[in-house]
Chains A and B, each alone.
Chain A
Amino acid sequence: DTAVSQTPKYLVTQMGNDKSIKCEQNLGHDTMYWYKQDSKKFLKIMFSYNNKELIINETVPNRFSPKSPDKAHLNLHINSLELGDSAVYFCASSQAGRRTLDEQYFGPGTRLTVT
């Protein structure tokens, strides 16, 4: 009965590769998010989708492209991976319009290591 799930849990890859991280939520939420938590433990929002529509796009390199095939899924595709992309990526979801952190449910995270 996992609420927000992500795959894979760990991802080790080389610079220059293209990779995807998948996220699914079974909470019936309309809004989904991608966050990046770097080595300094800063959690920063990257993207937010509401009903498959992009509503938040923070200053993120164009190499990162979110895709939402339906409102229960939000995938993150990363092109030409760089060393600085190494981080833990969290997916989250919430009811529509509820954007503060306390109203979001987080997935377990995907630890991306770029070598």
Chain B
Amino acid sequence: DAKTTQPPSMDCAEGRAANLPCNHSTISGNEYVYWYRQIHSQGPQYIIHGLKNNETNEMASLIITEDRKSSTLILPHATLRDTAVYYCIVRVAATSGTYKYIFGTGTRLKVLA
């Protein structure tokens, strides 16, 4: 199974862009990269996902390198409410026609006022 590696923690000033890196050097060609976050005491919250191309939505941008061995989640204007643990996840095929999601250990992002 593919494995992801993330820095354990990062700080970001409020209003600045937060760039969260993730290495997934063993990812296979058909395995998606997902990003989720967990705010304290809450369930996982979906942020964004992608396969090869860069993706953007109302929450964030996802930049995937051409060799797909790493990616960066960008929160363009971090707010205090973005303080959370951010997980880089690889989706692999599982049984029953569904998927297994392998979470990394996460990056604890602290947005500073």
Contacts and interface: CB of A to CB of B under 8 A. Distances in A.
Whether chains A and B associate is yes
Given A43-B44, A107-B43, A108-B42, A48 B49 contact: no
Contacts of A59: 95
A101 B99 contact: yes
Interface string B84-108: 0001010100111111111111100
Interface residues of A, number: 25
B103 A37 contact: yes
B43 A101 contact: no
B100 A90 contact: no
Interface string A8-19: 010000000000
Contacts of A9: 41
A97 to B, nearest CB: 11
A108 B103 CA distance: 17
Report, nearest first, the 5 A-B pairs whose CB atoms are least far apart. Answer: A106-B43, A41-B103, A56-B96, A102-B46, A43-B101
Interface string A85-115: 0000010100000011110101111000000
Contacts of A56: 96-98
Nearest to A37: B103
Given A90-B44, A101-B101, 15 more contacts: A41-B106, A43-B101, A44-B101, A45-B100, A56-B97, A56-B98, A99-B98, A100-B99, A101-B49, A101-B89, A102-B46, A102-B49, A106-B45, A108-B41, A108-B43
A1 interface: no
7 contacts: A42-B101, A43-B44, A58-B98, A101-B36, A101-B89, A102-B34, A108-B42
A26 interface: no
B34 A41 contact: no
A24 to B, nearest CB: 13
A57 interface: yes
A72 interface: no
